[in-house]
Amino acid sequence: MIKKLLGLAPKLEADGSYSPSKVALKLATQAKTNYTADTYQQYTGPKSKILVIFTEQKNLTMQNGKQFSTGNHPVEALLPMLHLQAAGFEFDIATPTGRPVVFEMWAFPSKDEHVKAIYNKLKPRFLKPKKLQDFILNEFDEASQYAAVFVPGGHGSMLGIPEDKNVGRVLKWAHQHDLYTITLCHGPGSLLSTTLDGEPFLYEGYEMAVFPDSVDKQTPMVGYLPGLMPYGLSEKLKSLGAKLVNKKADDTVVCDRRLITGASPNASNNLGKLAVETLLKDLS
């Protein structure tokens, strides 16, 4: 009751899940992002496509059994895509099952015209994305048309995606064909899919920026999460041999070989810029 009065209690949704408290939303979300509309040399070569893998799931179960109302973070998805679009790249939108993309709409920057524009432009494809299995069947032979695979963050990227064998197949396909893999915040959970069926971790020894477990452990205190995460993502990746370069949920980004990662929503703009600069330099 006291937490509710102070605005620290997570908000109960109609389906029984919880979204962040009033205080948490003020601390962790923005009506307008720090997107910078940079001007890029337009890429006009053959590798113009980027596969974007979204989650279609919403509720993440915490250790205490409560469900967090999540999905893909709109800023973490759309800011990098704004930069990539500005440089001439196109998107294939996919979810594991082909069901509609789920966003954390409580985190949508309602006063950001750039974000609203790309969201509205791509909304028909968010509602009817490709099924990842169909992409594997129909597009794997067209690797020469793709520059990268992008897995946006948001806690929802830990729903099903790390355990999805098709995600693992796509990441290995990208690796084998020298495509870039771009991800941020909790999106690096997707990299765990490369270890399924006892396979070695594809990114052992790679430097990467990931959302810190230490911050996830603190956020229930302000009602962002309704409980502790089911497991610590950054520690899991570290145990597999990843070299984490950040300790804070900041704007850190890093490129190691063909893996480009960012630490948090605050890194979304930097990640988009780094991804474009890296792709344009490599593909020119």
Please state the rounded mean pLDDT for residues 19-45.
Answer: 95
Q: Which sequence positions are flagged as catalytic?
A: 185
Position 60 in a domain:
yes
Residue 175 reports pLDDT greater than 80: yes
Position 6 in a domain:
no
Tokens 């949920």 — which residue? 249
Position 3 in a domain:
no
Give dist(CA 279, CA 73) in Å, integer. 23
Residue 154 reports pLDDT greater than 70: yes
Give dist(CA 106, CA 71) in Å, integer. 10
Confidence of residue 21 (pLDDT cuts 50, 70, 90): very high
Q: Give yes or no for a contact between 243 and 208, defined as CB atoms under 8 angstroms apart.
A: yes
Confidence of residue 98 (pLDDT cuts 50, 70, 90): very high
Strands 11-12 and 18-19: antiparallel
- Full domain range(s) for residue 91: 12-31+41-283
Residue 3 reports pLDDT greater than 70: no
Task: Tell me 259's DSSP state.
Answer: E
Give dist(CA 140, CA 153) in Å, integer. 24
Predicted local distance difference test score (pLDDT) of residue 284:
86
Residue 155 reports pLDDT greater than 70: yes
Q: What angle do CA 196, 199, 200 make, to 5 degrees?
A: 120
Average pLDDT of the chain to the nearest whole number? 96
Residue 188 reports pLDDT greater than 70: yes
Strands 130-131 and 90-95: parallel
Single pTM value for the model: 0.96
Written as one string, the DSSP assignment of 137-178 is HHHGGGGGGEEEEEE--SGGGGSSGGG-HHHHHHHHHHHHTT
Tokens 């490129």 — which residue? 255
Predicted local distance difference test score (pLDDT) of residue 8:
85
233 phi and psi, to 5 degrees?
Answer: -70, -45
Three-state DSSP at 279 gives helix
Position 5 in a domain:
no
Please state the rounded mean pLDDT for residues 97-104.
Answer: 98
Position 7 in a domain:
no
**Identity of the amino acid at 18:** Y
Closest by CA to 73, choosing from 150, 185, 165, is: 185
Among 6-15, 46-55, 145-154, the range scoring the smallest mean pLDDT is 6-15
**Per-residue pLDDT tens digits for 251-283:** 999 999 999 999 999 999 999 999 999 999 999
Residue 1 reports pLDDT greater than 90: no
Position 1 in a domain:
no
Please state the rounded mean pLDDT for residues 212-237.
Answer: 97
Position 36 in a domain:
no
| CATH code of the domain covering residue 261 | 3.40.50.880
Please state the rounded mean pLDDT for residues 41-54.
Answer: 96
Strands 67-69 and 59-61: antiparallel
Please give the share of the chain, as a percent, with pLDDT higher than 70: 98
How many domains is the chain built from? 1
Q: Residue 281 corresponds to which tokens in the numbers above?
A: 């330099």
Strands 253-256 and 146-151: unpaired
**Identity of the amino acid at 283:** L
Please state the rounded mean pLDDT for residues 94-123.
Answer: 98
Position 83 in a domain:
yes
